Structures are given as structure tokens and as C-alpha cells.
Structure 1
Amino acid sequence: MSELTDDIDDRRRSIGARRNPETEEAILEAAEAIMAEQGIAGFSIEAVAKRARAGKPTIYKWWPGKTALLLDVYHRQKPANVHMDTGSVEGDVFAFLTGVFAHWGDTGAGQVFRFVIAEAQRDQAAAASLADYAAERRIQSGQIFRRGIDRGELAKDVDVGLCADILAGFIWQRLLTGRIERDPAQLRQVARQMVRGLLTPPLGER
């Protein structure tokens, strides 16, 4: 996991060194505004360049395509409460599920992410952008389970990356099948089952 983190950090530094912060912010703000006003149908690199008063070559130098730009817009709009340290793994998973599904359901973010996944099935650049994004989120979500190991809640041999994959797999499947869950009781059950497992507890713990 550390090697993956180092690779991502190195890539960010190499890209960031070539970016003008003011221009980058103008591009991201323009992209956000277009998404809010026109949705996916009106979103294009040409439209963003015009609104941001930036050259298309500049945008393509920093983002290989509109999917990569959309992912940056999507991520910067994600609420902070998606990754909360509640003091327990189960609480953290519940907070994550609640925050992500609320974000997807209350804004256009769910539509954006569905579009990104669809684009990744037909376009190599989009697939690469989604893979990079998923790798970064895997590390971030894995911290939920890393904290659990550090607190002694989880066994030391737990694969935190695999746990993050299971969590991501659940929310992606729900998004793609139009079943965004909003019922707190259901989300608590998912968190409980995901963390505690399916085995019958020992007799003294029932």
C-alpha cells in the first residue's frame, strides 16, 4: 500500500509543479458552474475553456480528458463527513455510507459518477482516470479499517485494501442499479454486517 501511495504522491507533485494555481482554480470553478447549470449534457472541455478563459491545450495538459476533470470536480464537492473518525469501525462505515449516499442523492454527483463509470467502459483515457481515482479512494477508505486495527478492534492480519474494495463495491453496485439507500436503520445493518461478519457469535456474546 505504501508503494501505491508514493506513486500517487509523486505523480501529483510532477503534475502540480506545472500548474498555475489561479488558472487551475478558474478551470475547476468553470467546470463546477457548467455542471450545475447544464449538467452532463452541456459539459465539454470546449465549454470549460471558454468559461474559464483558458486554452484547451492547458486543460488537456493537466487533465487527459473530460472524465479526469469531472472526477476532480466530483471529489472537491464531496462532503467532509464522508470520512469521519467516530471512534469505531462500525461507526465510521455507517458515516461513510450515510455521507456518500446523501451526496449522491441530494446533488447531481450520483449522475456524474454513473457517467464516469459508463465512459470508462468505452474509452481508455476515461478508464485510466477512473482507475487512478479508485486507487486513491481505496487508500483513503482503507484508513477506516487501519484505524480499527490500531485501536485493537480488528485483527492485525486484516487486509485493509480488500475491506475498502468491499465497501466501494457495495456503494458502486447500489448506484448503478438505482438503489441508493437512505434509511439509517438499513445502513446501520449494512455497517454491522460488513464489520461483524456473518458468523454466529460465541455463546457468551449472544
Structure 2
Amino acid sequence: MAEDADRARKSIGARRNPDSADAILDAAEAVLVESGYSSFSIEAVARRARAGKPTIYRWWPSKAALLFDVYQRLKRVENPDTGNLEDDLVGFLKNLFSHWHETSSGSVFRSLIAEAQSDATVAAVLVEYTKGRHAHTGQMIERAKARGEVAADVDSTLVADLVASFAWTHLLTNRLNEDEATLRRAVGYVLKGIAADDAGSVDAAAVRRRRRRIIG
């Protein structure tokens, strides 16, 4: 009987209490804003939230796991639904770049990506986070499929990965102030490809110009 009761207590403890979880996330966000990524620690969060470290580690097995939850809390980037995939993706990138640039979330995510290069635990959390985000971004491609704008056999997650790669490169190199024309050109390359109209041939306009010079 005592064993059963102990198992029950452990089971209840492993489940997140929404109020306590919110208090810990509030504290983590506050510590992050006040102290920055480099000084962020579970100890500081526990003090701020008046929670035990074992509780935090039971719900978030690592500092990275907690920080990714904080990052997702900070991240408020809508996926536009304009009825046109190019406009949706350009709008999404504009929203994302503005959010990264105007809030602390950009520096947090940049730090997490950097740490993932040398910490297998952070890398694993980043992989899981990326799967979820790409599925979310892929919804724009799925809507375009339903409209007949995109071929049915297109891999939505792979397209989302290409878009994310462009975004992450700009985040990591601190180029978040790209104008809309550049974003639209990048999206155009993803959606329309970069092959010449007649693959393997030279540019048709250049051919016409040479012909005019020869005839003239």
C-alpha cells in the first residue's frame, strides 16, 4: 500500500501544475531579460520563482529545455493567410525578422543555436523544436496545396526547412533589416527555382541582344 501511494505521489509530481509552471516560466523570462543568456541559471530561476530546483528539473530536464519554452513564449510570429503562398512566406519572414530584431528573442535563439554546436543536450532539444516549427510553417504550404498553387507531392517540411535556413543565416549574421524586395526575391527562388527557361541554354535576352548587334 505504501509503495502504491509513493508511486501515485511521484506520478502527480511528474505532471506539471499549470500555475507553478507559469510562475517558473515568468521567473525564467525575468531572469533572462535582467541578466542575459550568459548569466541565466536554473538556480536564479528557482530563487525568483520560489520553487525547488528538483521541481524545475523534473519538468525541464535541462537549462536548454527551459530556455526553448521561454523562447516560444516570447515568440509571437503569425503565419499570414493571404491566399497567395509567395505573399504568405514574405509576410512570415518580415514578421519573424522584426520580432527577432525588436525583442530579446533573437539573441536568445542565436545563443541556443551556438550552444547546440558543442552541447549534445541542447542540440537534441533544438532538433525537436525545429520539427515542431517546420510543421507549423509547413501549414502555409499545405494551404497552398489545397488551393492548387503547389504540386500535391511537394514536401512541405522540406520547403519550410529551406525558408528557415534563409532566416537562420540572417539571424546568425545579424542581417535582420533586409528590405521586402530581397525577401521576395529569396522566396521567389524557393518557389520558382533558379534554372533557366531552357535548361542548359544561355539567357534568352542575352541571345537576342547579340543577334541585334550582329544584324545591326
Match of 2:76 in 1: 79
| Conservation of the 8 A alpha-carbon contact between 1:88 and 1:148 | yes
Match of 2:94 in 1: 98
Match of 2:182 in 1: 186
| Conservation of the 8 A alpha-carbon contact between 1:120 and 1:126 | yes
Deviation string 1:18-48 (CA, Å, 9 cap, x unpaired) is 1000000001111111111121122111101
- Among 5, 19, 22, the residue aligned to 1:22: 19
- Among 161, 164, 175, the residue aligned to 1:165: 161
One-letter code of the match for 2:188? Answer: R
Deviation string 1:127-168 (CA, Å, 9 cap, x unpaired) is 111111011111111111111111100011111111011111
Q: 1:109 to 1:16 in 2, by over 3 A?
A: farther
Q: How far, CA to CA, are the matches of 2:59 and 2:190 in structure 1?
A: 38
Q: 1:39 to 1:15 in 2, by over 3 A?
A: farther
| Conservation of the 8 A alpha-carbon contact between 1:181 and 1:187 | no
1:114 aligns with 2:110: yes
1:179 Cα shift?
Answer: 2.0
Q: 1:189 to 1:163 in 2, by over 3 A?
A: same
Q: How far, CA to CA, are the matches of 1:56 and 1:121 in structure 2?
A: 26
| Conservation of the 8 A alpha-carbon contact between 1:31 and 1:73 | yes
Q: 1:49 to 1:124 in 2, by over 3 A?
A: same
Where structure 2 has 5 or more consecutive residues not aligned to the other structure, the ranges are 1-10, 199-216
- Among 135, 138, 149, the residue aligned to 2:134: 138
Structure with max Cα Rg: 2
Match of 1:148 in 2: 144
Q: How far, CA to CA, are the matches of 2:73 and 2:12 in structure 1?
A: 18
Q: How far, CA to CA, are the matches of 2:66 and 2:12 in structure 1?
A: 14
Q: How far, CA to CA, are the matches of 1:68 and 1:105 in structure 2?
A: 23
Which secondary structure does the structure 1 equivalent of 2:25 belong to?
A: helix
| Conservation of the 8 A alpha-carbon contact between 1:103 and 1:109 | yes
Deviation string 1:87-112 (CA, Å, 9 cap, x unpaired) is 11111101111011111111121111
Which secondary structure does the structure 2 equivalent of 1:41 belong to?
A: coil
Q: How far, CA to CA, are the matches of 2:125 and 2:159 in structure 1?
A: 22
Match of 2:59 in 1: 62
| TM-score normalized by the length of structure 2 | 0.81
| Conservation of the 8 A alpha-carbon contact between 1:67 and 1:119 | no
Identity among equivalent positions (%) equals 52
Q: How far, CA to CA, are the matches of 2:21 and 2:49 in structure 1?
A: 9
Q: How far, CA to CA, are the matches of 1:194 and 1:98 in structure 2?
A: 16
| Conservation of the 8 A alpha-carbon contact between 1:68 and 1:129 | yes
Q: How far, CA to CA, are the matches of 2:177 and 2:86 in structure 1?
A: 17
| Conservation of the 8 A alpha-carbon contact between 1:64 and 1:125 | no
1:77 Cα shift?
Answer: 1.3
1:185 Cα shift?
Answer: 2.0
| TM-score normalized by the length of structure 1 | 0.84
Q: For structure 1, which segment, 72-81 or 162-171, has the greater mean C-alpha deviation from structure 2 after superposition?
A: 72-81
